[in-house]
Amino acid sequence: MNFELLPKIDSPRDLRGLTDSQLLQLADEIREALCNLVTERSAHFASNLGVVELCLALHHVYDFSQDRLIWDTGHQVYPHKLITGRFEQFRSIRTKGGLMGFPNPNESEYDLFMTGHAGASVSTVLGMKAGDDLLGQSGRKSVAVIGDGALPSGVVFEAMNNAAELKKDLLVILNDNKMGICPRVGGLAQYLDKARTAPFYNGLKRDVNWLLNKLPVVGKMSRDAISQLKDAMKGFLHGGMLFEEMGFRYIGPVDGHDLLALRRTLEMVKEVSGPVLLHVFTQKGQGFDPACEDPVLYHAPPPIVRGSRQEVISVKKSSSTAYTNVMSDAIYDAMHANKKVCVLTAAMCEGNKLGRVRKEFPTRFFDTGICEAHTVAFAGGMAKSGLRPIVNIYSTFLQRSFDHIFQEVALQNLPVTFCLDRGGLAGPDGPTHHGVFDNTYMRVFPNMTVMAPGDELDVAPMLDFALSHPGPVSIRYPKANVEHVERPEQPVELGKAEVWQWGADGMFLAFGAFFPVCVQAAERLREQGLDVGVINARFAKPLDEVTIFRALEESGFVIAVEENTVCGGFGAAVLEAANAAGVSTNNLKCLGIPDRFIEHGERDELLADIGLDVEGLIASAQAMAERNGAVIEQPRLKTVG
């Protein structure tokens, strides 16, 4: 498809010069650009296909160079990027140095917040509206677009409660596609299903009251009877009274793919005072049949090969095994072995590869929706009752439950096992999704045991250990393919590290999946004449102080390596322990994520940039060895033929 209109859209202002037929053509071109993208790389796909018309209608009606627009869980902003001057750069999205796959204020004035976690849009846009009013800019309109999957998040209702009290002019658009990443769950999902089937309604409460006052029979009825009649009429007319009762004027539901009708609705809504909720129903994957049929697979699919826009010839899948799959297999085996083991996840069943667990153990599998704080508190209750809950959540999302890890789990010393997926750099998803803080935020809690498998061989034994431990345990693993180091099996024991090989000149102290990388670096350093060994730390809390202190005292240098921020992480734990014991750390270097947010890019690219690849580790070791007076041999050139 040749792009006729998209290259001419330098800003949303250009939309207003298009005819209705051209707007519809532009929607087709945006979908074609999205389809082209996923033939090249993995990207958020189905969710973006579903908001094309909504995006065009919003930018046609509002002027978001002045008005405020925040997209909740911003992976659906690709159409928004295409019409805000970024078409020429679009093919670079999710690549190092290219466009971010989420809103990015550094890219455009139209991106206000870097939104990657669900639920905060209503709070932030309400805050902006309050700020604009206080600064004398009350003419600015404020809009938040939030999905039905994010709606159950507690912070959404906190924000709506506050908005109703403040009575600010605020539009919340509920993009209802019956999905998060996975199908939505819970009572609110059932409630929205009822609202979707109701006829269009604009401001129900006021009109029901007006109608009741016109009925002559009312004067002869008791107050209880009148109240019952009102409730009955509300239920008959419309299933969305929840929002009206919360102080929002409810409008909808509206077809989110009828661009022209949606534009008319937004023009009407724009003039309504006070907080408004516009209920828009869309289809995730709209315009691409395979994505409509399987929106879970096509949420962020591997690169696809297509014959036409409606046909997928093949999906390019990796033949390598990821840590996520290995942990999923271990969880599955644990469920078979122990009937007290149950699994909780927060709308990430597919991301955590728990489909088989959900299918075979439906009574012991709990998807709580995008409600991480509730998930952790719920798990605390299960553990108190005698179960062995596994909370399987991405590292970056578990941060949202920090207080409940403290109050309902660690403080109670309850045996909840946290499996933290995507611990470390999450690659093209970028800074909103990099899980680089969990060693720090888990390590601060008394009673918490903090572990990380060094390679594939550690995963199942660590999970088995955690499920037999009497207190809470955190196990983190990266978004990466597994490796393993050949070695004799050593059982997982509380606070015990594993020594791969001892080195007089230096030691790598690896926490987590850098163990194989450290082994590779040590082997190459040995070829250069340096006697360098590796310790697979396994535990950040409690530390194996005996082994670590021996390394600090006997080896020329020690390099602690982790895929976590150096602030408060594993290396910091080593420094703290050594300081408390009076052990010198003059020969210790801590490598990890520097104290800044890391951009998006392939994980290997990002690790190389910050010196956490094999070459970076070798360079750090050489510098420390030379400081100690070591003579390093130049590596021999290999001859070919």
- Helix 52-61 vs helix 259-269: angle between axes, to the nearest 10 degrees? 40
pLDDT greater than 90 at residue 623: yes
Q: What percentage of the chain carries pLDDT values higher than 90? A: 72
pLDDT of residue 205: 47
Which range has the top average pLDDT, 67-76, 145-154, 334-343? 334-343
- Helix 456-468 vs helix 323-337: angle between axes, to the nearest 10 degrees? 40
CA distances from 636 to 525, 587, 603 (A): 12, 28, 30
Residue 427 or 192, more confident: 427
pLDDT greater than 70 at residue 185: no
Among 33-37, 106-110, 594-598, 633-637, whose mean pLDDT is lowest?
633-637
Mean pLDDT over 361-368 rounds to 95
pLDDT greater than 60 at residue 576: yes
The CB-side HSE value for 396 (13 A sphere, CA atoms) comes to 21
pLDDT of residue 636: 43
3-state SS string for 115-175: CCCCCCHHHHHHHHHHHHHHCCCCCCCEEEEEECCCCCCHHHHHHHHHHHHHCCCEEEEEE
The C-alpha atoms of residue 215 and residue 211 are separated, in whole angstroms, by 7
The tens digit of pLDDT for each residue in 437-460 reads: 999 999 999 999 999 999 999 999
Residue 222's pLDDT band (cuts 50, 70, 90): low
Residues 6 or more apart whose CB falls under 8 angstroms from that of 395 comprise 420, 421, 422, 423, 424, 435, 436, 437, 438, 476
pLDDT greater than 50 at residue 193: yes
Among 25-34, 253-262, 314-323, whose mean pLDDT is lowest?
314-323
pLDDT of residue 318: 66
pLDDT of residue 245: 82
pLDDT greater than 90 at residue 544: yes
207's tokens: 């009109």
Residue 351 or 562, more confident: 562
Amino acid identity of residue 623, one-letter, is: A
Among 298-312, 500-514, 545-559, whose mean pLDDT is lowest?
298-312
pLDDT of residue 535: 98
pLDDT of residue 228: 56
The tens digit of pLDDT for each residue in 249-296 reads: 988 889 999 999 999 999 999 999 999 999 999 998 898 888 888 887
pLDDT greater than 90 at residue 345: yes
Mean pLDDT over 290-307 rounds to 80
Amino acid identity of residue 453, one-letter, is: P
pLDDT of residue 132: 94
* Residue 534: count of CB within 10 angstroms of its CB: 30
The C-alpha atoms of residue 106 and residue 97 are separated, in whole angstroms, by 12
Q: Which domains does the chain have, with CATH numbers?
A: 6-198+239-293 (3.40.50.970), 323-476 (3.40.50.970), 498-627 (3.40.50.920)
DSSP secondary structure code for residue 12 in this structure? G
pLDDT of residue 153: 84
Among 120-129, 323-332, 577-586, whose mean pLDDT is lowest?
120-129
- Give the catalytic positions in this structure: 284, 372, 400
The C-alpha atoms of residue 553 and residue 399 are separated, in whole angstroms, by 36
567's tokens: 């602030």
The C-alpha atoms of residue 80 and residue 64 are separated, in whole angstroms, by 11
pLDDT of residue 521: 97
Among 90-104, 150-164, 251-265, 511-525, whose mean pLDDT is lowest?
150-164
3-state secondary structure of 255: strand
For the chain, the average pLDDT equals 89
Cβ–Cβ under 8 Å, residues 124 and 81: no
pLDDT greater than 90 at residue 112: yes
Mean pLDDT over 232-250 rounds to 68
pLDDT of residue 641: 31
Which residue in 108, 106, 111, 135 sits closest to 121, CA to CA? 111
Cβ–Cβ under 8 Å, residues 430 and 101: yes
Q: What is the pTM for the complete model shown?
A: 0.86
* Residue 6: count of CB within 10 angstroms of its CB: 18
The tens digit of pLDDT for each residue in 381-390 reads: 999 999 999 9
pLDDT of residue 210: 46
pLDDT greater than 80 at residue 201: no
pLDDT greater than 80 at residue 311: no
Residue 152's pLDDT band (cuts 50, 70, 90): confident
